[in-house]
Structure 1
Amino acid sequence: MHSISRGAMPIQPEVILKKPFPSRPLSQMPLPSSREIHWWYVIPDEVQSPLLTNHCLETLSPDEKDKAMRMKEPKLQKGALLSRLLLRTTLARYTNSMASPESLKFLINRFGKPEVQWPCDGSWTPPPLHFNVSHTSSLIACAVTTNSPIGIDVIEKHRQLKNNIISFARRYFAPTELEYLSGISDLEARRQEFLRLWALKEAYVKALGRGFSGAPFKYFAIRFKQRAKERSTDPDSNAFELIIQPDGKAEELSDDWQLGLFELASSHHAAICLKKAAEDYLTLKIWKVMPSFSEILVPGTEQVLDFRH
């Protein structure tokens, strides 16, 4: 049973650094403790300066730039550029200025999950970071830990499905999840529960490093401890558990993971998956950023993820 305590103050962004291009060196951050998750996000629509796009082109690798510019729509190009810039600037913050965003190199596993190759000449020890990135057209997020592999997913709360939710879920979800969704009569509540489940399942397969192709959603189930109508009277209750369905490929999966879910920027469901640990509680610290131009700390967004069973 896993839940999140929402004792935080209302979100009131506070600009803590703002400089015109060219930007000053990135502010450096201490590593997350073993009891912390650091979460960074950017809103693409708030990034309007063409100078930032120029900075993306200066910072990203040729492959990253080529992949972004091959996209047909300018909005998709912008999102791809910002996603890679957010990842590079976030990781560079934890190097005590020993590595710049443009110096980082990445390897991609066969399922598409990136791993960083730290530039190292023997003069410093690279930080023991785990990270994951998720993005929609309206929000891009990067999460960092030091104590566990991590997978994250963000999904827009207003996202609509072209097909009937139950028909769609029948193609991708496990039987217990389908039964759960079918039991919700209110269509809006059903849609929100579907989106929450989808985000949690995405976070799980990303934490495994396998992605959807390596761990199809039907091979495992996530079960909420309370039904949607019960949670509507207790919005702080987000208790759920991970279930591995018996299947020929189930041995490749593991239930040794913790799941967390919270609301981000009042517009997105955000899911976190990381390895189970001795700690019952982890602190989630959230920053909103304008990469390389301003860093906006969102005060009062420290949340406690409660993983008690």
Structure 2
Amino acid sequence: MLPFPNDIFTRKLLTVPSLPPYPLPSPREAHLWCIVPDEVKCGSLLNQYLKILSPCERQAVFGLNGAKLQKGALLARTLVRTTLSRYTQSKIKPQSLRFSKNTYGKPQVVWQHEEGWIPPCLHFNISHSSSLVACAVTVDLQVGIDVEDKQRKLKHDVLSFARRFFSPNEVEFLHGTSDPLIQQQEFVKLWTLKEAYVKALGRGFSAAPFRNFTVRHQASRIAVEVHSDSENLTENWQFALLELPTHYASICVEKAGEKEGDGNDSLKLKVWRTIPFVEDECISETDVV
């Protein structure tokens, strides 16, 4: 069992027995929900989270080595279940959600249809580090997310590592950044953008090697360029790069079908910080390109 002490959140849990519902993301909107693991310290609350997991999920959590890894996995599965449940207007409880995986292993929700209710076409993706768990949600549009610690350390030199995984254009961009600290930051940003793109595609890393596409990251625009010999990759995607207090977070969202002459292709993004069943705080609401 996860060995965490009780605290004041126990009393809060008793007064917040259900999740507040939230409106669905609009057609050009992504929602991002985040948990900071160090803020979740209540043993009773963690046990409540365990109860909403499936038997297979609980087995996977306890199969990990060490309380920290177990807690991270528990919070990741809890965040997915509680977040998706919010958008069903209390029709589906977190513990009732069912999931499957596509051919390449990307998770997707399997809705249980109820009479008189049509489930939303939600897409989601999860990412977590040792100090942040994040879940991105969209309607009708594929989505991918990656979060990385700003202070991520590499075993090798930045450029040496980039030459192994990045495209020549990206390596050239990093090589032109002389300040080592800025070079490190730009590397981490590029990594999150590339990983978010691959996860949004949902084809697995073997079908979308990092070297087969280039992410152009400029001040006002982020775009992906696919190399001519990469049949499985597409360019119809929008990106958001967020600078959180301790992490960079990148979101990649499939572009909505646009009518001719419709030049409004901005992506709206809302970010929440949450402790499920205890409190939610909207920390950012913005338009990105």
Q: Same fold (TM over 0.5)?
A: yes
Structure 2, gaps ≥5 residues long: 1-10, 259-263
Match of 1:221 in 2: 214
Query: What is the rounded CA distance, in whole Å, between the counterparts of 1:111 and 1:35 in structure 2?
Result: 26
Q: Equivalent of 1:239, from 216, 221, 227?
A: 221
Matches within 5 A, 1:148-163: 148-163=141-156
Residues 1:175 and 2:175 are matched in the alignment: no
**Offset of residue 213 of structure 1:** 2.6
Match of 2:36 in 1: 43
Matched residue type, 1:114: P
Alignment check: 8 A CA contact 1:157 1:269 kept: yes
Residues 1:275 and 2:254 are matched in the alignment: yes
Deviates more, 1:210-219 or 1:163-172: 210-219
Matches within 5 A, 1:2-151: 19-21=12-14, 23-151=16-144
Structure 1, gaps ≥5 residues long: 1-17, 226-236
Alignment check: 8 A CA contact 1:202 1:211 kept: no
Query: What is the rounded CA distance, in whole Å, between the counterparts of 2:53 and 2:200 in structure 1?
Result: 25
Matched residue type, 1:40: W
3-state secondary structure, aligned to 1:45: helix
Matched residue type, 1:219: N
**Offset of residue 238 of structure 1:** 4.6
Matched residue type, 1:302: E
**Offset of residue 74 of structure 1:** 0.8
Return closer, same or farther for 1:20/1:56 CA change in 2, 3 Å cut-off. closer
Query: What is the rounded CA distance, in whole Å, between the counterparts of 1:96 and 1:46 in structure 2?
Result: 27
Alignment check: 8 A CA contact 1:21 1:51 kept: no
Return closer, same or farther for 1:215/1:70 CA change in 2, 3 Å cut-off. same
3-state secondary structure, aligned to 2:240: strand
Matched residue type, 2:18: P
Match of 2:278 in 1: 293
Matched residue type, 1:260: A
3-state secondary structure, aligned to 2:13: coil
Match of 1:208 in 2: 201
Alignment check: 8 A CA contact 2:19 2:276 kept: no
Match of 1:256 in 2: 236
**Offset of residue 125 of structure 1:** 0.8
RMSD of aligned residue pairs (Cα, Å): 1.5
Query: What is the rounded CA distance, in whole Å, between the counterparts of 2:57 and 2:179 in structure 1?
Result: 43
**Offset of residue 282 of structure 1:** 2.3
Query: What is the rounded CA distance, in whole Å, between the counterparts of 1:171 and 1:192 in structure 2?
Result: 18
**Offset of residue 192 of structure 1:** 0.5
**Offset of residue 246 of structure 1:** 3.0
Query: What is the rounded CA distance, in whole Å, between the counterparts of 2:57 and 2:105 in structure 1?
Result: 14
Matched residue type, 1:111: Y
3-state secondary structure, aligned to 1:212: coil
**Offset of residue 23 of structure 1:** 3.9
Aligned residues: 273
Query: What is the rounded CA distance, in whole Å, between the counterparts of 1:255 and 1:282 in structure 2?
Result: 16
TM-score normalised by L of structure 2: 0.90
**Offset of residue 207 of structure 1:** 0.6
Q: Deviations over 1:98-143 (max 9, x none)?
A: 1000000100123221000112233411112111111111101111
**Offset of residue 67 of structure 1:** 1.1
Return closer, same or farther for 1:68/1:142 CA change in 2, 3 Å cut-off. same
**Offset of residue 63 of structure 1:** 1.1
